[in-house]
Structure 1
Amino acid sequence: MINLTVNLELLTELVTFKRYGTLSATAEHLMITQPTVTRGMKRLEEELCVTLFDRSVSNHIKLNDTGLLAANEAAKLLKNVDDFTDKVLNYDRLRNEFTVASIIPGPIGLLDFLKDQMPTRPVINWQLVNPDNVASDLENLKERLIFTDHEIINDDLESFYLGREYLKLEIDPFNPLSQKKAVSFKDLTGMTFLVLQDIGTWRKIVEDNIPQADFLYQNSINAMNTISQYSRFSFFVSNLTQALPDTSNRFNGDPRITVDIDDPKNEMEIYGTYLKSERRVVQPLLKALSQAWPK
């Protein structure tokens, strides 16, 4: 059995060469010199005792079949190394922090508002999680708890039901719809709305269900508040965000009227999803949050 130790930097150069196709492009991407890449690839071949490149054409090299295999396996190995590093660092961080994230903003806004009432002081990650990354972020210990819009149960994960989130409409009192007790998404056809840029799953829901609407997306709550005060554009709040300070500030001197949205698509079940091994630590906070959940 060969005792082989391979330099990870050389594997990074190999993977980068496969991606960019030339020594010069590889060197430029890695911010090193082309001779350094050339020496590195020769050294890697020597360490592996194989030929990785086809050098039959003068002044041009390309990966042979062995090189392609090596580059693909190197990419897997480098990802495993990154995952290993992240998991160790995240574990050490989680020993002292209760980190919480979400795929939509409402639940973390509510938790931040109620955090002084929680049995554990959470550290909130305001960057929304891609729904496809929920399981990996929890398994790699990036987060201790993630709010999701559906239940997740497998060998390692489980979800705790918290309640529902639904939208309400804030509309100018001169709009005829303001006189209604409730409207449907279809009633809002063709209207213009101020909307925060990062609203997760809600963005697809409103875009798919309000025909011919214009959505003026804002990157920050401050911009949203300012434009709200100097315009008549409608906007949405939810049962989770309606009582939050940022929302309340938006209503200072604001004549808009709150109208319910009675529509079957205007409802989202919210869960707290976590590792089963974290159940004892996570569930007390989830139980406290569910008891304070706005109806």
Structure 2
Amino acid sequence: MCELYLLRQLAAFKEYGTLSEAAERLYLSQPALSRNMRKLEEEIGVPLFVRSRNKLELNENGILTAELARKALSEIDGIAKQVRDFDRSRRTISLGVCAPAPIWKLTPLLSQLYPTMTIQTEITEETELLEGLHNGQYQLIVLHFHPEDKHYISTACGTEKLFFSLPPTHRLANEAALSFSDLDGESFLLMSEIGFWHDMAVRKMPHSRFLIQNDRFTFDEIVNASVLPSFSTDTANEFFGNSSDRIQVPITDEEAEVRYFLVCLKENDKQFGQLYKVL
């Protein structure tokens, strides 16, 4: 049986074309690589190279062997990745969410209930969350609607209400409540990575311009110094605090208040039964 390192070196030789280039990429000396290729020929039992004074080339045997080696190594690497992914899945709970707020509540709870597990979170679109739940990318997901599917177990895990966050000098700051259409067309400060809230704002306010900030600290500093409106939620205010002098005006549109649902596959009921009982 050929040693894997010899097959990797042969595949590298074919990929890079010359002994010197392959040796450099493999962090080997040329003589060492040349010796290893001779060893590989001895193990296989047929010549793989055409040798001249200053050149080493693959013959037809070598070309075939290099291609078979590439395919075999790809399969072996794939096996190794699957095993590592499986091992990581046994030590990691992957939580996919449609917005940041569920992370703030669920991550501490998961850490408390499953102290030996690493909690991994990701915010993405809900179609991708459902797909990821089925393909094993996530063990748990949070949606802002109740999924009607017999393969799922779901339970409500919180609510969140969106507000306009207006400077006191804003023309509508004294209103008791406003709709999206009331401020459509104004420029807004907006945090990135807010999940479906971003898509909702863009859809409900098609004439507005959104100035995206990636860092929470920077966003808060700009909001405190700016006359532009922004958004806030009751959950974010509870989690981060509301230190600015801005006025929080409720949004009257039905979509501005959501209920979150924690979802897992029925086959994982035993693993997360304790979590669902707490919720």
- TM over 0.5: same fold? yes
Question: 1:162 maps to what in 2?
Answer: 156
The amino acid that maps onto 2:168 is P
The CA deviation string for residues 193-232 of structure 1, in whole angstroms up to 9 with x for no partner, is 131x33344444444554341323122x333333333333
Matched residues in 2 for 1:77 and 1:283: separation?
36
Matched residues in 2 for 1:173 and 1:199: separation?
25
1:234 aligns with 2:229: yes
The amino acid that maps onto 1:258 is V
User: Equivalent residue of 1:214, what SS?
Assistant: strand
- Seen in structure 2, the aligned counterparts of structure 1 residues 14 and 60 have a Cα distance that, compared at 3 Å, is closer
The amino acid that maps onto 2:76 is L
1:285 aligns with 2:275: yes
Matched residues in 2 for 1:101 and 1:276: separation?
16
Matched residues in 2 for 1:20 and 1:208: separation?
50
The CA deviation string for residues 243-262 of structure 1, in whole angstroms up to 9 with x for no partner, is 21x1x1xx224223233161
- Seen in structure 2, the aligned counterparts of structure 1 residues 136 and 176 have a Cα distance that, compared at 3 Å, is same
Question: 1:120 maps to what in 2?
Answer: 113
TM-score of the superposition, structure 1-length normalised?
Answer: 0.63
CA contact (8 A) 2:50 2:56 kept: no
Which of 132, 135, 143 is the aligned partner of 1:134?
Answer: 132
Question: 2:264 maps to what in 1?
Answer: 274
Q: CA deviation at 1:191?
A: 1.0
Q: CA deviation at 1:105?
A: 1.8
Which of 226, 232, 253 is the aligned partner of 1:262?
Answer: 253
Question: 2:77 maps to what in 1?
Answer: 78
Question: 2:95 maps to what in 1?
Answer: 101
Q: CA RMSD in A?
A: 4.6
Question: 2:214 maps to what in 1?
Answer: 218
- Seen in structure 2, the aligned counterparts of structure 1 residues 79 and 102 have a Cα distance that, compared at 3 Å, is same
Gaps of 5+ in 2: none
User: Equivalent residue of 2:169, what SS?
Assistant: coil
Q: CA deviation at 1:269?
A: 6.3
The amino acid that maps onto 2:166 is I
User: Equivalent residue of 1:241, what SS?
Assistant: helix
The amino acid that maps onto 1:224 is F
CA contact (8 A) 2:102 2:142 kept: yes
Gaps of 5+ in 1: 290-295
Q: CA deviation at 1:146?
A: 3.7
Identity over aligned pairs, percent: 21
The CA deviation string for residues 111-153 of structure 1, in whole angstroms up to 9 with x for no partner, is 247x39x9825667465266478348847xxx65343567496
TM-score of the superposition, structure 2-length normalised?
Answer: 0.66
Question: 2:86 maps to what in 1?
Answer: 87
Q: Please show how residues 1-12 of structure 1 align to structure 2 within 5 Å.
A: 4=1, 6-7=3-4, 9=5
Question: 1:293 maps to what in 2?
Answer: none
Matched residues in 2 for 1:19 and 1:80: separation?
22
- Seen in structure 2, the aligned counterparts of structure 1 residues 43 and 183 have a Cα distance that, compared at 3 Å, is farther
Rg larger in structure:
2
Matched residues in 2 for 1:238 and 1:52: separation?
68
